[in-house]
Structure 1
Amino acid sequence: MTARQSKRRHARTTEAQSWRATEIDPQGQGTPSSELETGILVAHYGVAVDIRLASGEVRSVKVRRRSGHVVGDRVEVVGERLHRLARDTELRRRDAMGRTHVVAANLDVLGIVVAAVPASPSGFVDRALISARAANIEPFLVINKADLPATQELVARVRETWIDGPGGLDIPVFVVCATRSDTPELTSGLQALRSFFANRPAQPRRAAFVGTSGVGKSSLVNTLLPELALPVGDINSYSGLGRHTTTTATLHSLPDGGELIDTPGFRDFGLVDISVPQLAAFFPGFSELIEHRGPCRFNDCRHDAEPDCTIKAAVAEGRLAPARWQRYRELLAELRPS
């Protein structure tokens, strides 16, 4: 190793050590209690985060680029040092390249946003529902762009696929228009959504929206938090897909109560750390069907080739759409070892 290479390696090591020194580990040991403050991570900029302290002050703290911190984390802060506390919940996804991402932490509810234009990819809603339920986060559906003629058809399709009939999910569905409020029909859904977040007289809910780019997620956040004025992208006329407009995850307090985490849009939602038994248990509608019709013959039934399966019987009797079972089998094939 040349002298120049050794100098460069020493510089990189010193820089890495300086980054590591900005994080507390373990929890404030040896630190006077008067210096330690608790807070919530409310914005993540890659190499820095904003922390909203219990006093209400917002403080910026440097972190390593891959520190693992995400918006919604509860943290302890001492000056420029940061320590993440245990999470109650975390929402994770796997992208098309197989990389794992934690989307947000300590969520109570997850809003899955869809629209007639652009249409969400096949299986997106199912994947989001499974990920939410497996993470012990309550999912709900938001159908945006209620002013478009095609939205009524989408509402009917969503209700037929996920809500109505045996096996339907008992989850809230809000039909909204994030960009227009000139008629009572268009404002009622947004008001119902605000009340859902406030959750009076119980504990207000912390929520996040997930949705493919272009479904109006940023417009929806702008309507709920108009002071943010987030940039809104148009639909690409060539691909029919939305343009990403949100690039930084942020957490905000809602005027009527509750909190909202705004996350960058994405076009896929790969399942992370979901086992085959969990898929069988959490696939939308299966547990409701089994509760309605009785259990399968085998406790560990995978609803595939096993005999006396409640789910297969429901398909044969027309109580579950064959497309829903086929969608489940496609996800099952993804999770099983090749």
Structure 2
Amino acid sequence: MDVRLESGERRSVKVRRRSGHVVGDRVEVVGERLQRRERDTELRRRDAMGRTHVVAANLDVLGVVIAPLPPSPAGFVDRALISARAAAIAPFLVVNKADLPGAAELVADVRETWIDGPGGLELPLFIVCAAAPDEPEHARGLAELLTFFAGQRRPRRGAFIGTSGVGKSSLVNAMLPDVALPVGEINEYSGLGRHTTTTATLHELPGGGELIDTPGFRDFGLVDISEAALSEHFPGFREVVFDSGQRCRFNDCRHLSEPDCAIKAAVSDGRLAPARLQRYLELLEGL
């Protein structure tokens, strides 16, 4: 495992395969041993077999990358946003492959669903084309993304997550031209991307900030999210209802058929889009 010392020097330290260390950990090097410090945040996911994995540690921000092709699975963005918010990591959205047909429609859908519509979030949105970063119509989005990582008060450490094939490795290459990560192709039969990143790595951005490149996922399962936490962190619920002091009659309200439900009342009077409640119910059923 490579460790970056405070001096900036990198040192290779042997660790056990199941040591529990992940990219982003802060450690103390004692001889040939690593002692991990307490983590501020953990990004965790559940794989298709139900196993839990810590993907990265000590993140400030998490970028959810989507593209017109391949389309992300239903509920992927919601699950990623909920996982980030529950882990106290600030999420943002990246629409990649802005040059492809359907990109404008995808951006419009993203804005309506998560930003501008009833219950919208104050989510940073970056529109990029990582495969052609120098094209004038695409350069602005990449520049804005680099400025975001550099931060106004202090640099940010972040990571991108996205299903395989949405162009995460191309995006990292555009932000870090000297890294040159391998880039996969879309399978013409399945419409899915091939995994090109198999391990997570941390990179320093030239303008400030740090970027962790993570493997692509077919999907992103929620980890240890209770029904109460799902309701609290579901996009729009807290912003529209809970932050305004409104509460359901029952503390354990699932927003199904319970009387005096504040969420259903917000849908009825137009403060929350009906699609928001429907997406929540679909995730609730899968817990």
CA contact (8 A) 2:159 2:213 kept: yes
**Match of residue 274 from structure 1:** 225
| CA-to-aligned-CA distance 1:223-257 (integer Å, 9 cap, x gap) | 00111100000100000000100112110110000
Indicate yes or no: 2:286 matched with 1:286. Answer: no
Identity of aligned residues (%): 75
CA contact (8 A) 1:167 1:292 kept: no
CA contact (8 A) 1:251 1:261 kept: yes
**Match of residue 61 from structure 1:** 13
Structure 2 Cα separation of the partners of residues 261 and 282 of structure 1:
24
CA contact (8 A) 1:293 1:310 kept: no
- Larger deviation: 83-92 or 282-291? 282-291
Matches within 5 A, 1:1-338: 49-200=1-152, 202-290=153-241, 291=243, 294-335=246-287
In structure 2, relative to structure 1, the CA distance for the partners of 1:293 and 1:188 (3 Å cut) is: farther
- TM-score normalised by L of structure 1: 0.81
Match of 1:106, as an amino acid?
Answer: N
* 3-state SS of 1:301 partner: coil
Structure 1 Cα separation of the partners of residues 130 and 5 of structure 2:
31
In structure 2, relative to structure 1, the CA distance for the partners of 1:85 and 1:182 (3 Å cut) is: closer
Note the residue ranges of structure 2 that are not aligned, 5 or more in a row: none
Highest relative contact order (Cα 8 Å, sep 6+), 1 or 2? Answer: 2
- TM-score normalised by L of structure 2: 0.95
Structure 1 Cα separation of the partners of residues 37 and 270 of structure 2:
48
- Residues matched between the structures, number: 286
CA contact (8 A) 1:166 1:292 kept: no
| CA-to-aligned-CA distance 1:46-87 (integer Å, 9 cap, x gap) | xxx110011211111111111111000000112211111100
- Larger deviation: 217-226 or 321-330? 321-330
RMSD value, Cα: 1.5
Greater Rg by CA: 1
**Match of residue 16 from structure 1:** none
| CA-to-aligned-CA distance 1:73-103 (integer Å, 9 cap, x gap) | 0001122111111000000000111010101
CA contact (8 A) 1:140 1:173 kept: yes
CA contact (8 A) 1:178 1:216 kept: yes
